[in-house]
Structure 1
């Protein structure tokens, strides 16, 4: 069951579990481990690391970006946030935790970023599982594309 899933901004007590995350081989192609992106996110203003918790155990991670410079290549909306680096540790795949987290995301964003009216993200066109997750969680494909490290990325939008 997923009723005990919650979102929390990163706290130092999350670090040991985040450092032990592993990714499936498929996920390694499309996302980063928290330990690969966390220190940079903590060191840059307008980046907000978020932890997906099952009870109090970190099971997932992503970063919210508010920097207009970062957002510029994704959207011209000054009130948008960019979601990046979503990962779920391999042992917790297939349990619905990522979907529950994405369903909690709009309320989380509205609570902490009341000025935000849109969440955007880029998903590789080959990452069918992630694309399906985002679409089932309320993200929309408005036809915008960009080229990423592995080719075409779809820019998806969740309007708040």
Structure 2
């Protein structure tokens, strides 16, 4: 079974995370059982650390610090569907994924897009890795930098 890359992580109640995967699929995953198997996960009981969760570059894992991480595959395969997830992020994630595809087809680096848009390269990297949700104005600038324009659908 092929799993999808993580796009965004949401720290929820208790020790539960929600994860948005590429393609718009949402899953919830309870970290509590991991504390019994691997004591390092007990540190996530500290809410500040728990809420610092981020998707690592490439979408292959969820990371809290240099000692605590979790493979996206584990969440995808053993998480449960999350039907009441914040679906507005799904559309933003799909736009970001489309931008990444177009940037790569244009053979542009993040640094080149940064130079064209004035958007910091590290901000572009965080956005591409699901750690930052861009505003619509930012999305429009990014698409323009790779030669595309978003237009509203006529009704």
Using the size of structure 2 for normalisation, the TM-score is 0.27
Greater per-residue helix proportion: 2
Greater per-residue strand proportion: 1
Using the size of structure 1 for normalisation, the TM-score is 0.27
